[in-house]
Amino acid sequence: MPSSVRIRLVLALETDLALSGVQSSLAQTRSIDIVGEARDGALAMAVARQRSADVLLLSCALAGMLASDQMAPVGEMDQTTRLLILGAPDDEACLRAMLALGAAGYMATTESARAVVAAVRAVARGQPYFSLAIQKRLAKLAAQAVAEPGELDKVGLTDSERAILDGLARGWDDARVAETLSIAERTVRYHLRKIKDKVGIENRTELVVWAIGQGLGKDA
């Protein structure tokens, strides 16, 4: 998303304190417009579709305690609307549900309200965003999900595919991966399809978690 384009945001937060904190942090941010608000998960999804939102910031509590009938509409949202979850860093049920839904990010409730600006901007650009506390949880879940160490070496990735996957593990979007590797974005997308086939993971967020669990995304 070009820096000159304003981000359309829908807020779905369950408490007045959380809502006022986010609104206050965004008040002086000219690049983000709050185009809708809701206090119900299903309604928030409908509002996001209706208002053509770029990002839906949704509290875990408003997803109907992550009931299956509330989760389905999230996955069916217009792909141009990216989902950013706000939840407790130790809420593993919400974290696992987020991964299953393919949410673009998870912001911990323990962060300052101002951190939402960075989170919304990152997610709007197509870049995954995870709070530091969440990254540690993701790494733990990824380690649990991997059957055995060295799985990365067994899937037969080429050097280019491995470099692209390393970029994803660093939280880069396709544009930054392409720029860093001096290739076209369409080439990145082509390789990502090949990577997903080899690894057996279709969900981009789950692929990022898997890559982190394999030790990618770290400086040598």
Banded model confidence at residue 22, pLDDT cuts 50, 70, 90: confident
Could you tell me the two tokens for 190? 């082509």
Banded model confidence at residue 158, pLDDT cuts 50, 70, 90: very high
More confident residue, 54 or 23: 54
Cα–Cα distance for residue pair 69/52, rounded to 1 Å: 22
Banded model confidence at residue 147, pLDDT cuts 50, 70, 90: very low
- What's the Cα-to-Cα distance from 207 to each of 10, 28, 99, 103, rounded to whole Å? 26, 35, 10, 12
Rounded to two decimals, the pTM is 0.67
Average pLDDT, the chain: 79
- Write the CATH number of the domain with boundaries 7-140: 3.40.50.2300
Look up residue 6 and give its DSSP letter.
P
Cα–Cα distance for residue pair 61/65, rounded to 1 Å: 6
Cα–Cα distance for residue pair 37/47, rounded to 1 Å: 8
CATH 1.10.10.10 segments of the chain: 147-213
CATH 3.40.50.2300 segments of the chain: 7-140
Q: CATH assignment of 147-213, given 2.60.120.620, 3.40.50.300, 1.10.10.10, 1.10.760.10?
A: 1.10.10.10
